Amino acid sequence: MDPALRAAVEELIGAAKVASSRPAGGGCISRAEVVTLEDGRRFFVKSNPAPLPGMFEREAEGLAALAETGTIRVPRPIGAGQGDDAPPFLVLEAIDSGNRREGFSEDFGRRFARLHASSTAGEVNTTRFGFDHDNYIGATPQPNGWAEDWCDFWRRRRLDHQLALAREKGLSDPTLDRLGERLADRLDDLIGHPREPPSLLHGDLWSGNYMVDEQGEAVLIDPAVYRGRREADLAMTLLFGGFDARFYAAYEEVWPLEPGSEDRLEIYKLYHLLNHLNLFGRGYRDGCVAILRRFA
């Protein structure tokens, strides 16, 4: 570990020095290391010499929000910081990887449904959509804010935002723009129902954004949290594999989806495909257009 980073991490954690460190997986955007302190405690440290503004603070905020539901394990955020000569960094609880236990998919599905359900009740209930701060989905800025109307939120802060980014990056074309405008005009009819309260969403759940802990249970990582319709969270799980039929059946045991969810899930996939278009290029363009042609 870089000596300046080590000193900054020690100052943030306090009470013990770093005895050793080793590289860790999961550092697609940032460098990842596991550090062991002289007192035996271990932490996961992400660092980046040029992070996106507020990236680590927003990640810690999202993990803390998910942890408050008490439904699915997340790495406990210790804090974000930056030393005089050290790069910005984030310190998290270190969680050891394990093998899936029997019934993993069913347990994961039920816990994910409870995450969505528990965040709609009691003192945490809100009728608004969004979040206190903007954050990131991967390396893409994700505008949040608060909105009373879900369709307006998804139109302006999800669909329009990604289409505008595609134009800025030279990844759009007249067909994509025209169909995007048409879909935006139809959103009230297409996703205006069901009338469910906003759920706290992980925001970017695919197979690379969960791990299996030492007990063989799912751990959520790398969130892009906000409050929205739970179908928007499920849509991402359907895109790239990693979730089997048992996961979805168990989810619906806890909280069945409302009629018409099949079409709404397809529409919500569009946000993530557009984000992949903006992150990885025009290979995702045809997938975006296919959904747009179907619904616009």
d(CA 244, CA 198): 25
Looking at the predicted structure, is the pLDDT value of residue 87 above 80?
yes
- Please identify which of the residues 132, 177, 185, 204 carries the catalytic annotation: 204
Q: For 222-265, write each residue's pLDDT tens digit.
A: 999 999 999 999 999 999 988 999 999 999 999 999 999 999 99
Q: Is the dihedral of CA 229, 232, 233, 238 positive or negative?
A: positive
Average pLDDT score over residue span 284-288: 97
Q: In this structure, what token pair is assigned to residue 139? A: 């390396």
Q: What is the DSSP string of 169-234?
A: TT---HHHHHHHHHHHHHHHHHH----PPPEEE-S--SGGGEEEBTTS-EEE-S---EEE-HHHHH
What is each CA distance from 252 to 112, 245, 249, 264, in whole angstroms?
10, 11, 5, 16
* pLDDT score at 194: 80
Looking at the predicted structure, is the pLDDT value of residue 277 above 80?
yes
Domain 3-93, classified CATH 1.10.1030.10, yes or no: no
Q: For 106-140, write each residue's pLDDT tens digit.
A: 999 999 999 999 876 554 557 899 999 999 999 99
* pLDDT score at 15: 77
Looking at the predicted structure, is the pLDDT value of residue 155 above 70?
yes
d(CA 217, CA 68): 18
Confidence of residue 195 (pLDDT cuts 50, 70, 90): confident
CATH classification (class only), 104-295 = alpha beta
Q: Does residue 47 sit in helix, strand or coil?
A: strand
204 part of the active site = yes
pTM, two decimal places: 0.93
d(CA 251, CA 237): 12
Which residues does residue 136 pair with via DSSP β-bridges, in sequence order? 141
Boundaries of every domain in the chain: 3-93, 104-295
Answer whether 60's CB lies under 8 Å from 39's CB: no
